[in-house]
Amino acid sequence: DAASRLPWAKRITIALGAARGLAFLHDASIIFRDMKASNILLDK
């Protein structure tokens, strides 16, 4: 349903946050192998 989709700007913000989190883990030599949309937690 198109009405329930997030705007592109919000999607990009979420993706950048996830990428920054993965970079943080990578810098700590931690490999997160189960990256998928259902593993990204959002609050309102």
Domain boundaries, the chain: 2-32
pLDDT, position 33 = 92
The pLDDT tens digits of the residues spanning 3-44 come to 678 899 999 999 999 999 999 999 999 999 999 989 999 887
Apex 6 CA angle, 4 and 44, nearest 5: 90
pLDDT, position 7 = 92
The pLDDT tens digits of the residues spanning 17-27 come to 999 999 999 99
Q: Is the pLDDT of residue 1 over 90?
A: no
The residues assigned a catalytic role are 34
Residues 23, 7: Cα–Cα separation, whole Å: 25
Residues 26, 22: Cα–Cα separation, whole Å: 6
At residue 32, what is the residue type? F
pTM score, whole prediction? 0.76
pLDDT, position 44 = 76
